[in-house]
Amino acid sequence: MLAGRNGAGTDPNRAVGFFFSTNGSANVWGYSNPEVDKLVELGKATVDEKEREKVYKEAQQLVLDDCPNLFLVSPMEYFFVRKEVSNFEPSTFYTDYLNIVIE
pLDDT tens-place string over residues 19-78: 899 999 888 889 999 999 999 999 999 999 999 999 999 999 999 899 887 766 655 666
The residue ranges of every structural domain in the chain are 12-66
pTM over 0.85: no
The answer to whether 13 and 25 have CB atoms below 8 angstroms apart is no
Q: Give the separation between CA 35 and CA 81, rounded to whole angstroms.
A: 40
